[in-house]
Amino acid sequence: MLLNRITKSNFININKSCLKNYFCSVSSGSSTTTSTTTTTTTANLLKVKRDDRFSYLNKDDISVFKKIMNDESGVITDADDLVGYNHDWMNKYHGNSQLVLRPKSTEQVSQILKYCNERRLAVVPQGGNTGLVGGSVPVHDEIVLSLQSMNKIHEFDSVTGVLTCDAGCILESLEQYLEPRGFTVPLDLGAKGSCQIGGNAATNAGGIRLLRYGSMHANVMGVEAVLADGTIVDCLSTLRKDNTGYDLKQLFIGSEGTLGVITKLAILTPAKPTSVHVALLSCDSFDEVKKLLIEAKKQLGDILSAFEFMDRSCIDVVLEHQPQAREPFDSKFKFYVLLEVSGFNEQHDNEKLNSYLEDVISRKMVADGTFASDSKSIAEFWKLRETITESLGKAGAVYKYDLSLPMDQFYNIVEVMKERLAGKNNSMVCGFGHVGDGNLHLNISTPKQKYNKEFLGLIEPFVYEFTSKHNGSISAEHGIGAMKTEQLHHSKTNSAIQLMRSIKQTMDPNGILNPYKVLPN
Ligand code: FAD
Ligand code: 2HG
Ligand code: ZN
């Protein structure tokens, strides 16, 4: 149902027909699974020496793994089949693994790791391989331990809303399981069609719902994980409250596969909102975006479920690389806000959104706007936001930064980088992201597919120093992976890094789990 109560004449686009034409063909669902077409690598940018504590894989090892797996299809050695596991979603990080293992049970994961630990064979856990910091692929010849074949849903408690499942369940398939039961996953991201819930926990993924439901740290009730020596740690509690000493499961959340392999999870899932409305608003300045956010928090309160922003360059890149995308308004604007409300009372939610929109229009905080209430149009709106990453990948080499910054510096870094890189390498600087969570995605794109070390030198360490100077974080949600190990000190003190090292030493004394990642080398 659409309640078009907005009457201001400048709010010309609030009608259904404009949305219908927004994308001429919309694929079912809004998941992004396609890999980008980038063909060159940053191998020369990431020079990490192979750790000589690790052994080289031999034929006997493969025979042992075949025995453990008891099924040839779980042991991949064929060169063609290995390719997809050896490079990341951006085709930016390339490894040289000769073996992928796809266990079907926690017991098999345990036996594999026990053997690898004894033999000093390094292992990289891999989920959906959609990570954006090179954490999920080998740096050298690490064995890839893929969770692909561990994808069962074990239990769902409709009273508590706790879902217990294998780590390899695809995020979107969990949503499909929960939807008819009236529940939803408290996490949503553009990679939902490929990423796995274990990978989401391992990266403490954020996404577009964090504003409403909080992070994985808040929503994971329990974890089963396997340590480097094969020990199975059962912290698979389904309880909301459990203050029995150290909250060990939290160690695995956000540790990017360096402390253990997550095999099962218990996730708290909220009731699925029955009324959803999305508004796309445009602004002439970032100050207006901030004002819209302040008012949204005040006036929409608990029904506000997403507040995303994109600058004009993002819209340009989507229009260029997504044939079905259409210009959202008659004119072009500097900034666009995608605001979503969701709740359980259609009339109440609609009225609240309308009164918010009327208020911000009358106070001239928006230049133009449009809103949608039916699921098809809502999905079309979201496509514009969710295809930015894919479009940037198609545009050329992308230098990606995922920052938490205070609001007074939030967009300033984009302006500063634009000035700094003006006229250099035909670069394009854009900013978008989860402004409601203080999380900016700063992307710099150059038309050539090849990453350039000299050009990179103009961006780094400047961008990290800027972030550190303003007490931000160099990784708001994507993690450290292989990309930022040497930059960790910009967001962590020496004593914090030391404590991280001792935790790693305790849980993985031989360092076989995801080496060369997270901690400085
Ligand atoms: P992978 O990429 O396979 O692995 C990521 C890391 O986790 C690696 O270090 C890996 O070793 C480790 N890992 C994976 N599974 C396990 C396991 N079972 N046990 C232990 N360690 C494991 N991220 C966000 O936070 N917010 C977004 O909005 C967002 N949007 C994205 C949109 C697109 C189009 C793409 C391509 C990516 C996006 N990402 C986003 C990044 C990525 O999708 C997330 O980091 C996601 O959580 C990774 O899940 P995955 O299963 O693909 O993990
Ligand atoms: C998003 O929010 C993802 O869309 C990807 O975190 C961000 O491509 C990026 O920089
Ligand atoms: Zn994001």
- For 479, phi then psi, to 5°, come to 100, -175
**Mean pLDDT for all residues in the chain:** 91
- Is residue 231 over pLDDT 70? yes
Closest CA to 417 of 436, 385, 437, 441: 441
- Is residue 316 over pLDDT 70? yes
pLDDT of residue 388: 98
pLDDT of residue 377: 87
Instruction: Mark 466-481 as b/e (b = at least 16 C-beta within 10 Å).
Output: bbbebebbbbbbbbbb
Percentage above 70 pLDDT, the chain? 91
Q: Calculate how far, in angstroms, residue 316's C-alpha sits from the geometric centre of ligand 3.
A: 19
Q: What is the pLDDT of residues 167-201, one digit of tens each?
A: 999 999 999 999 999 999 999 999 999 999 999 99
Closest CA to 123 of 158, 154, 105, 97: 97
- 136 close to ligand 1 (CB < 6 Angstrom): yes
Separation between Cα atoms, residue 90 and residue 390, nearest integer Å: 9
Q: Calculate how far, in angstroms, residue 419's C-alpha sits from the geometric centre of ligand 1.
A: 32
CA atoms within 13 A on the CB side of 472: 29
- Is residue 35 over pLDDT 80? no
Kindly calculate the radius of gyration of the chain based on its CA atoms and give it in whole angstroms. 23
CA distances from 116 to 54, 101, 507 (A): 10, 12, 15
- For 60, phi then psi, to 5°, come to -65, -40
- Is residue 142 over pLDDT 70? yes
Separation between Cα atoms, residue 320 and residue 105, nearest integer Å: 44
> Is there a common fold for 2-16+273-384 and 389-479?
yes
Residue nearest to atom 6 of ligand 2 (CA): 207
Separation between Cα atoms, residue 298 and residue 296, nearest integer Å: 5
Neighbours of 486 (CB within 10 A): 15
Which residue blocks in 387-439 are alpha helix, DSSP H?
388-395, 412-421
pLDDT of residue 370: 92
CATH class of this structure's domain 20-146: alpha beta
Q: What's the predicted TM-score (pTM) here?
A: 0.93
Q: Give the ligand at the shortest distance from the Cα of 444.
A: 2
Run of H or E including 307: strand 304-311
Run of H or E including 469: helix 462-469
Q: Give the ligand at the shortest distance from the Cα of 103.
A: 1
Which residue blocks in 363-403 are alpha helix, DSSP H?
375-386, 388-395
- Is residue 207 over pLDDT 70? yes
Separation between Cα atoms, residue 17 and residue 28, nearest integer Å: 20
Q: Is 16 helix (H, G, I), strand (E, B) or coil?
A: helix
pLDDT of residue 48: 93
- 125 close to ligand 1 (CB < 6 Angstrom): yes
pLDDT of residue 450: 81
Contact by Cβ (8 Å): 132, 81: no
Please state the atom number of ligand 1 nearest to the C-alpha of residue 171: 51
Separation between Cα atoms, residue 147 and residue 144, nearest integer Å: 10
Closest CA to 144 of 187, 112, 169: 112
Dihedral sign computed on CA atoms, order 487, 492, 493, 495: negative
Separation between Cα atoms, residue 15 and residue 13, nearest integer Å: 6
Closest CA to 317 of 36, 91, 20: 36
Assigned token pair, 312 = 């004009």
CATH code for the structural domain at 2-16+273-384:
3.30.70.2190
CA distances from 114 to 66, 117, 376 (A): 15, 5, 49
Fold topology of 153-268: 3.30.465
Contact by Cβ (8 Å): 175, 185: yes
- 132 close to ligand 1 (CB < 6 Angstrom): yes
Banded pLDDT at 45 (limits 50, 70, 90): low
**What are the residue ranges spanned by the domains of the chain?**
2-16+273-384, 20-146, 153-268, 389-479
Q: What is the pLDDT of residues 478-510, one digit of tens each?
A: 999 999 999 999 999 999 999 999 999 999 999
Closest CA to 367 of 275, 288, 273: 288
Which position has the token pair 């409709």? 158
Contact by Cβ (8 Å): 69, 75: yes
Question: Candidates 3.40.50.300, 3.40.50.720, 3.30.70.2740, 3.50.50.60; correct CATH number of 389-479?
Answer: 3.30.70.2740
pLDDT of residue 376: 87
Residue nearest to atom 5 of ligand 2 (CA): 389
Contact by Cβ (8 Å): 341, 277: yes
Q: What is the pLDDT of residues 67-121, one digit of tens each?
A: 999 988 899 999 999 999 999 999 999 999 999 999 999 999 999 999 999 999 9
Q: Calculate how far, in angstroms, residue 239's C-alpha sits from the geometric centre of ligand 2.
A: 32
- 195 close to ligand 1 (CB < 6 Angstrom): yes
- Is residue 28 over pLDDT 90? no
